[in-house]
Amino acid sequence: MRQEDFLLLVSRQGDEAGLDEGRLQQIERHSGLSLTQRWPRAALFCRDTNTVLSNDQNGAFLGRPRHGGEPPFHAVTPAMATGMLGAWDGSGLSRKLWGDFIAIRVDRRQSGSFSLHRSAMGHLPCYYRMSRSGELVVCSLVRDGLAVIGERPSVDWGQVANHLARQQLRLDATCIEGFHELAGGCELVIEQGRMPAIKRRWNPWTFACPNVWIASEDEAASRLRNVIEGVIAAQASRHNHLLLGLSGGLDSSIVAAGLQACGARFSAINLVTSDPTGDERDYAAIASQATGADLHLAPESEALVDWRRSDAAHLPRPVASSFTQSADRQHQHLARRLGASGYATGGGGDHIFCYTQSSTPLLDSLRHYGPGRRALRTSIDIARSADVSLANVWQAALRRSLRLSNSYRWEADVSYLAGEIAGIVAKAPRHGWGDAPHEIPPGKAMHVAWLQHAQNHMEGYGREQDLPMEWPLLAQPVVELCLRIPSWMWIAGGQNRAIARRAFRGALPDTLLDRRSKGSPESVLIRTYQASRSAILDTLRSGHLAGHGLLDIASLRMIPAREAAFRSVDYRRIMTLLDVEVWLQSWLDV
């Protein structure tokens, strides 16, 4: 549950009586939501009316929108929100505002017509479904939506198969049959006598086009720091105390520097693993000392992981990873002890700061400038960053250039999937943003694809059900600016995320900014598997995935023999399958 939870119920045409007082009261009792507004053909329910910025016969504004443009990012006032509803401009909402918000517009000229806009890169969920009786439900929690229309959940096994094959590709269709997500920056248009339609009001390709690229590394770094600090100041202003997950890596350290710059009150938590590859406490100590954060160390432990329970049980996609429960429980415990009002994370930094060892920046440089010193410099930077030879870089670039499409290729992971399923998912479904336009070079197309990757990592955490999580590095102003930075700038000097490092030079110690290593929490995942190996494999072999023919049972049965022979086993893949199976149980075994 979150304060911003909402539900909009639109009656079928000519059946306004379907929203009588008795039914509205029943919805309130069963959902825990409060009736907030009633229109001739619809009713809006919210968990906390304090999150409703504007609410009248023209519509409603939910959440916390902020003005875009350049920092400082001022909050939208109720009067401003009311004015925007009265002079509706769906495209303008995405251009002028950012944050976590839903705007609902009632068209009083066309009785029964609605428009619902979800903020681009917003963190307020929005799903919709037409019921069998013709009602439309739009909600932040799918379980609430199902209860209101009186239907039981049904799994979309085709979407489950797509998820298993391409876990990072987030489609508008969810894994609960009939429910679609209203993607960020889109508008749901509901008109009498017509099926609901989607209008895309925001598109990342607008900012990835070469004609809007930033020309110099100095300008890119200066503007990046300015916008990150502005976003962090805006997000921190709603909190009295934030708890930051601080690994001592670049991304979380940048968030710490931003919190210090705006004078926010915050503490930091570093998760310590028994495996040296995941022990980053020394770097976290350097970051906390540099930014004035009170650092708390907490041990990662498989004892805190209950792999039989999914932290995505309330979501229509199996996006939770069981091994993150260890980190979640430590965050929750410390947040309660400190009285924190929210969490902050550097999550998504690798994606939006274009962390790559690909040859595609070389192709972008060649396409933009042609052959010459610039391309040679880029190839040297890639070789240094990826620790490969120049010859390897140019060979990889040549192979990539021979592909007809400049779009990112979503490769399928079909390991442990049944043969017929592997054939079905061989071709990647089309994402709502579409293929890369012809003017977008392959490196920037990859950057946009990684932004898609990040979206499945922004939910499914146990801690977000207690307190809000702030994701400053994936906020719309940061995303739009980063997409305007050419791909070759991100690996300048042979350093990944080079512009982000340059942006915070002077705000963070060189020890952190020049760090090339990255820690990994994989040890918790592996120990969780090893502690319950037999039970986990039994669960997979006898579960819903196997029962619906999605898994290669023979391959699963061979895992113990492979381990006994000291042959490699993909523990992460097995645990991913398990997480999907447990999510299915949360929806079907009730």
Check the CA dihedral 8-67-467-518 and report its sign.
positive
Is the bond leading into 72 cis (omega within 30 degrees of zero)? yes
For each of the domains in the chain, give its residue range(s) and CATH number, in order of start.
6-201 (3.60.20.10), 207-352+459-513 (3.40.50.620), 356-452 (no CATH), 532-588 (no CATH)
Least confident range of 10-14, 29-33, 436-440, 551-555: 10-14
Contact 157, 548 (CB under 8 A): yes
Q: Is the pLDDT of residue 435 over 70?
A: yes
SS3 574: helix
Query: In angstroms, rounded to a whole number, what is the distance separating the alpha carbons of residues 134 and 337?
Result: 48
Q: Is the pLDDT of residue 18 over 90?
A: no
Average pLDDT over residues 50-55: 87
- Can you give the pLDDT at residue 49? 84
- Can you give the pLDDT at residue 13? 67
Q: How far is CA 527 from the centre of its chain?
A: 27
Average pLDDT over residues 269-296: 94
Average pLDDT over residues 511-539: 91
Q: What is the pLDDT of residues 144-157, one digit of tens each?
A: 999 999 999 999 99
- Can you give the pLDDT at residue 50? 82
Q: Token pair 């890639």 is at which residue?
A: 382
The rounded percent of the chain whose pLDDT value lies above 90 is 83
Beta strands in 196-347 (DSSP E): 197-200, 242-245, 266-272, 294-299, 342-344
Give the residue among 56, 45, 49, 171 at the shortest CA–CA distance from 106: 56
Average pLDDT over residues 189-218: 94
Which tokens is 588 given? 């079907």
- Can you give the pLDDT at residue 110? 65
- Segment holding 223, helix H or strand E: helix 217-236
Give the residue among 68, 115, 65, 124 at the shortest CA–CA distance from 87: 115
- Can you give the pLDDT at residue 111? 65
Average pLDDT over residues 44-72: 91
Give the residue among 569, 490, 587 at the shortest CA–CA distance from 529: 569
- Can you give the pLDDT at residue 202? 96
Q: What is the pLDDT of residues 207-217, one digit of tens each?
A: 999 999 999 99
Q: What is the pLDDT of residues 74-84, one digit of tens each?
A: 999 999 999 99
Higher pLDDT pick, 566 / 460: 460
Give the residue among 118, 127, 125, 126 at the shortest CA–CA distance from 98: 118
- Can you give the pLDDT at residue 16? 65
- Segment holding 102, helix H or strand E: strand 97-107
Q: Is the pLDDT of residue 193 over 70?
A: yes
210-214, long-range: CB < 8 A, 24+ apart: 210/368, 210/439, 210/440, 210/441, 211/439, 212/484, 213/484, 213/485, 213/486, 214/484, 214/485, 214/486, 214/489
Q: Is the pLDDT of residue 434 over 90?
A: no
Q: Is the pLDDT of residue 568 over 70?
A: yes
Q: Which of 40-44, 200-204, 565-569 has the highest mean pLDDT?
A: 200-204
Q: Is the pLDDT of residue 195 over 90?
A: no
Q: Is the pLDDT of residue 567 over 80?
A: no
Threshold 0.85, pTM exceeds = yes
Rounded to the nearest integer, the mean pLDDT of the chain is 94
Structure confidence at residue 522 as a pLDDT band (50, 70, 90): confident
Largest interatomic CA distance in the chain: 74
- Segment holding 66, helix H or strand E: strand 59-67
- Can you give the pLDDT at residue 17? 62
Give the residue among 46, 35, 38 at the shortest CA–CA distance from 16: 38
Q: Is the pLDDT of residue 573 over 90?
A: yes
Average pLDDT over residues 440-455: 96
**What residues contact residue 141 under an 8 Å CB cut-off, 6+ apart?**
1, 5, 7, 125, 314
Structure confidence at residue 590 as a pLDDT band (50, 70, 90): confident
